[in-house]
Amino acid sequence: MSARYKELEYWDNRYREQEQLQIGGHEWFGDYRDFAHLVARELRPETGGLVLGCGTSSLSAELHKEGVRPLVSIDYSPVCIKEMAQRHANAPDMSWMVMDARHLQFPDETFDLVIEKGTLDAMMVDEKDPWRVSQDTITLVDQVLSEVSRVLTPRGCFMSITFSPPHFRARHYAQPQYGWSVSCDTYGKDFHYFFYTMHKGGQLTSLDLARGQSLYKPHEDQEQTPTLLECDDEDFLNNIHI
Ligand SMILES: C[S@@+](CC[C@H](N)C(=O)[O-])C[C@H]1O[C@@H](n2cnc3c(N)ncnc32)[C@H](O)[C@@H]1O
């Protein structure tokens, strides 16, 4: 991922260009149908949801079709929020708000479902070595996760979709203060993406707790560890065959 993915200006320009060229935009980490079964198993009647960093993805529209209503989608780019609000102007139970995922402007316990796809990845691009995460990034991710935990209902669920495997990503999620359990599935035919599900009110296993603690202990072998984050080309993530 490019270091520019952390800049609001980058996303505004990208979405402005997309609009001018009248192209739908890039869908991160595959098609919704590839992971729809993982979402569906968590849905209950009257599930209300929040999408973090929605971009111009079809994810919000797909969730809405699945019956997640009301559905609020936020992004810190006003350009994409304006575009998405126009695109979905006829769906009154879908709303679009310019908002920073680190400072959610919702009361405690508002949503049964919070979901993000590629948003935390974009926020973590400064990290070139996922074994040794900087304090700044730990704090940034914790700000988002604390907010997610706060706005989830007591039995709510947080879904996080990423290319980052459990030994790097689960340790951010496996912190006791969020009050949730952590599980991970994969999807995708060639490249496997990771689908994390956090259940509010669930327990962390001892492996999760050890992972969580490892976030604060630098990995000894980090010099030899190849990382996907070194790749600057997002197409690599969609086209790689392993
Ligand atoms: C990699 S894109 C993913 C977009 C979309 N979720 C998808 O699956 O196609 C990352 C998105 O996160 C948004 N974003 C990054 N940091 C954010 C923040 N602090 N608060 C809200 N949105 C943010 C960007 O504007 C961008 O739309």
Distance 122 CA to ligand 1 centre (A): 7
- Mutational test site, ligand 1, from 76, 104, 105, max ligand atoms within 8 Å of CB: 76
Q: Once rounded to an integer, what is the mean pLDDT over residues 201-223?
A: 83
pLDDT digits (tens, 9 = 90+) for 47-71: 899 999 999 999 999 999 999 999 9
Q: Which two tokens stand for residue 205?
A: 């296993």
pLDDT(240) > 60: no
Q: Given pLDDT bands bounded at 50, 70 and 90, which one contains residue 115?
A: very high
Say what percent of the chain tops pLDDT 70: 89
Atom of ligand 1 nearest to the CA of 11: 25
Distance 132 CA to ligand 1 centre (A): 23
Q: Given pLDDT bands bounded at 50, 70 and 90, which one contains residue 232?
A: very low
CATH code, 180: 3.40.50.150
Q: Whose CA is nearest to atom 23 of ligand 1?
A: 53
- Select, from the ranges 44-53, 106-115, 233-242, the one with the highest average predicted confidence (pLDDT): 106-115
Q: Once rounded to an integer, what is the mean pLDDT over residues 172-189?
A: 96
Under 8 Å between Cβ of 212 and 171: yes
pLDDT(108) > 70: yes
Q: Whose CA is nearest to atom 16 of ligand 1?
A: 123
pLDDT digits (tens, 9 = 90+) for 126-154: 888 888 899 999 999 999 999 999 999 99
Atom of ligand 1 nearest to the CA of 8: 25
Look up the domain containing 14 and give its range: 3-239
Q: Once rounded to an integer, what is the mean pLDDT over residues 222-234?
A: 40
Number of domains in the chain: 1
Q: Given pLDDT bands bounded at 50, 70 and 90, which one contains residue 218?
A: low
